[in-house]
A and B are shown apart, each in its own frame.
Chain A
């Protein structure tokens, strides 16, 4: 009897410990985010003197000033254009390649293995390492300082991972399905487009979230490929705004908030899909 209750106390203590860790982690991850939002509403005095809490009188004009001074409207527009074009190109290009790798019998598709390995070259060389020679290629193509150069480079950088992922989805579809479509008179393309691809929606969503978020947040390549101010994306614009020494700090925090909050809201609305999308590369099956 005594031992039993001892075990119970132990269990309870362990649960307490778990909650302690949980709450500590929660504070460490969430408080900095809240702190950023709090700071965005403060005036100069409170920014330095009321460090921890919320502003006593929230200043909305910080946001308006930040929006205007950092030209965030234009930056949002650029980021949206680039991310949308990126997805429009990436999804079909990756799907097409993944489909033939996954579904074409070897008798019809010689050197399939070699081509698949070639398509995965991007996994061997991580994104960004080749930034300097990529810049040289872009200059040589006469595409320097254009949105389309960024889009093309991004698509190329994400192709290998996307093809790898999509191949898995196509390969897992039952063979009978395609045979039935073929007997009904569908050609390869028709069965690819109308029968198989609609069934890979979860995969497409994963690629879209993973790639889209990465491109939306990308800084390194854009800082090298984009020179003119009117083409800057949000991360690029923010990094430059920060370097401006005359910046008014609450406005800087407002700019950070404006840049982050829409994505965070999107994430919270679709958190299951987001988490699945971003972790799918590392969890299999």
Chain B
């Protein structure tokens, strides 16, 4: 009996060990190494340097560009979260009823989801291009020529231009999720509300939103946490943080500190600050995902 117990235990350990080791090595330990390195002034990737306590954090927080990059990151995350979810939910509601061509449409709007951010970014750099980009051409044709901007080289609009690309890539994704969520709501609910004389807005407010609560929250969190980290690729290929740091996001600035300024300590201090911000939302996401589990 005892050996059976031991065998079970060995079985459990061998089953979870590979996953635990990998997560420790490439998520948990990096977190500690990041926190540790952030206390040193160093240009070396492998340790060493002078211990300077929390000074790297002071340097980071006194660095205007870092603040700017955090602000841009938040702007990016908030912008794409609102736009993707409003568009995704709006389209899903509009197209909830069966209609001809819907399947084709669903397949088509999902194509950009399969693109890499690099391809997406390069493609859109050309769409925005003042020389032969189709956006300006299009605006001229339809008489909106007056609204033409220097999409990527005007510091006032460049960040928004990049956000729009991210929204373009992901709206189909959110729409499909919302469509699936809507399909799960029982039509009886709407029917009885219609009998009670509820209008479209009332139905949306008192049936759709509460029924889709978990889906909406999860979609918002996925978009939001994604907004903190996915922006690197797009910014890198479209503007590389310019003009005048107007599109610098946290990750591009952290990498710049590492590879260009060789300031490993400060790059790590900024990483830890970013982790602290993002993990709050990541934790919320985890809570919601596992709470649904318990309900099952």
Contact = CB atoms under 8 A, between A and B. Distances in A.
Interface of A: 15, 18-19, 21-22, 25-26, 28-30, 32-33, 35-36, 39, 47-48, 51-52, 93-94, 96-97, 99-101, 104, 108-109, 115, 118-137, 139-140, 152-153, 155-157, 159-160, 163-164, 167-168, 171-172, 187-189, 192, 213, 216-220, 223-224, 234-235, 238-239, 242, 249, 252-253, 256, 259-260, 263-264, 267-268, 271, 274-275, 278-279, 281-285
Central interface residue in A21, A97, A127, A281, by most chain B CB within 10 Å: A97
20 contacts: A33-B111, A39-B126, A93-B22, A96-B19, A108-B8, A109-B12, A119-B19, A120-B290, A129-B228, A131-B271, A132-B267, A133-B34, A137-B33, A220-B232, A235-B117, A259-B116, A274-B114, A275-B110, A283-B177, A284-B214
Q: Which secondary structure dominates chain B's binding surface?
A: helix
A155 B22 contact: yes
Contact of B176 (A29, A100, A153, A275): A275
B114 A25 contact: no
B139 to A, nearest CB: 13
A118 B22 CA distance: 12
Central interface residue in B33, B46, B124, B168, by most chain A CB within 10 Å: B33
A122 to B, nearest CB: 6
Given A120-B286, A126-B228, A188 B116 contact: no
A52 B283 CA distance: 46
Given A136-B30, A219-B233, A238-B119, A48 B131 contact: yes
Interface in B31-48: 31, 33-34, 37, 45-47
Residues of B in contact with A, size category: 35 or more
B290 A35 contact: no
Q: Which 10 A-B pairs have the closest CB atoms?
A: A217-B116, A156-B26, A133-B34, A133-B30, A97-B19, A124-B282, A96-B15, A235-B118, A156-B22, A128-B229
Nearest to A105: B8
A235 B22 CA distance: 25
Interface stretch (B62-70, B91-99, B148-156, B202-210): B91-99
B196 interface: no
Interface in B118-141: 118-119, 122-124, 126-127, 131-132, 134, 137
